[in-house]
């Protein structure tokens, strides 16, 4: 009986040691990932300050055919959004590294990832929509629906990519499994879907009644905002119910 008790005690001690070693390994992995993330993202945010938007503006003019004013506005917006989101992502990730509590650390880590993805998605949304709208000579009356559909497809793909990235972090215990939800990309996917539905409603009305350009735009804006608001509320309700 005494030998059996000693064996049980040794087995429990060994399990505790193994669990502690696994915890140390996870902590080291998290610390290394935090350091790598800050080392990459913070200099990238600083790069947005040091570079001139003119270079990006010239890129848009030469390779996408944007007019100079439009190219400049898009370049400036990308730089502002990129710097703001990347800087915020770096600060939150620093908090994740030093907070010392697992729950707060993992929550801050997923927020920093979402902010970084949000910066990319915002720039992508601007580029995709503007590029397709500028292709009016090629697409003619299909310009707007094509822009809406292509943008929707792009961000459906981004939803899939973001889910895979978050799942990768969850498998390695860097974030909670409940946080594997592509919030940033879903926001833009819903925005693109509302954009498409917002165009369909006034377009369908033109087959029944005559609409002036002003009426078409008014119906489009109202439908777009209403569709986006309802879709976002449904999405948030579904997320809350899932948790």
Q: What does the pLDDT look like over 29-83, one tens digit per residue?
A: 555 666 667 667 767 766 666 666 676 677 667 766 677 787 788 778 777 777 7
User: What is the structure's pLDDT at 13?
Assistant: 62
CB-CB neighbours of 235 under 10 Å: 16
In a domain, 92, yes or no: yes
Mean pLDDT of all residues in 114-125: 86
Where are the extended beta strands (E) located within the chain? none
pLDDT digits (tens, 9 = 90+) for 185-215: 888 888 888 888 887 888 788 778 877 778 7
In a domain, 218, yes or no: yes
Q: Using 50, 70 and 90 to split pLDDT, how confident is the model at 157?
A: very high
Could you say which DSSP state residue 140 is in?
G
In a domain, 8, yes or no: no
pLDDT at 17 over 70: no
In a domain, 177, yes or no: yes
Contact present, 100 and 168 (Cβ < 8 Å)? no
Whether this model's pTM surpasses 0.95: no
Contact present, 108 and 174 (Cβ < 8 Å)? no
Q: Tokens in use for 83?
A: 């710097």
User: What is the structure's pLDDT at 198?
Assistant: 81
**Rounded CA separation 138/136 (Å):** 5
Q: What is the largest CA-CA distance in the chain?
A: 94
How much of the chain exceeds pLDDT 70, in percent? 72
User: What is the structure's pLDDT at 26?
Assistant: 55
Mean pLDDT of all residues in 217-234: 82
Higher pLDDT, 13 or 101: 101
**Residue 182: HSE in the Cβ half-sphere, 13 Å Cα cutoff:** 21
In a domain, 4, yes or no: no
Q: Tokens in use for 218?
A: 């008014």
**Rounded CA separation 134/197 (Å):** 21
pLDDT at 161 over 90: yes
In a domain, 9, yes or no: no
Domain tally, the chain: 1
In a domain, 49, yes or no: yes
Mean pLDDT of all residues in 102-127: 84
Determine the structural domain holding residue 64 and report its residue range.
17-242
In a domain, 10, yes or no: no
Higher pLDDT, 213 or 15: 213
């Amino acid at each position: 009986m005494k030998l059996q008790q000693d064996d049980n005690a040794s087995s429990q001690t060994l399990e505790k040691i193994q669990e502690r070693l696994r915890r140390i390994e996870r902590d080291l992995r998290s610390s290394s990932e935090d350091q790598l993330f800050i080392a990459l993202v913070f200099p990238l945010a600083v790069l947005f300050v040091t570079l001139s938007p003119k270079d990006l503006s010239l890129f848009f003019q030469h390779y996408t055919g944007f007019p100079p004013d439009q190219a400049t506005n898009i370049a400036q917006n990308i730089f502002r959004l990129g710097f703001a989101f990347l800087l915020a992502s770096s600060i939150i990730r620093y908090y994740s590294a030093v907070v010392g509590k697992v729950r707060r650390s993992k929550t801050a880590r997923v927020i920093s990832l979402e902010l970084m993805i949000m910066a990319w998605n915002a720039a992508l949304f601007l580029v995709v929509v503007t590029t397709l709208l500028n292709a009016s000579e090629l697409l003619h009356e299909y310009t707007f629906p094509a822009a809406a559909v292509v943008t929707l497809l792009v961000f459906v793909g981004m939803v899939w990519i973001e889910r895979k990235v978050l799942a990768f972090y969850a498998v390695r215990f860097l974030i909670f499994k409940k946080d594997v939800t592509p919030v940033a990309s879903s926001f833009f996917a819903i925005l693109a879907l509302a954009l498409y539905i917002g165009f369909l409603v006034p377009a369908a009305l033109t087959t029944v009644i005559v609409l002036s350009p002003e009426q078409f735009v008014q119906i489009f804006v109202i439908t777009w905002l209403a569709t986006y608001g309802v879709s976002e509320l449904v999405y948030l309700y579904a997320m809350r119910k899932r948790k």
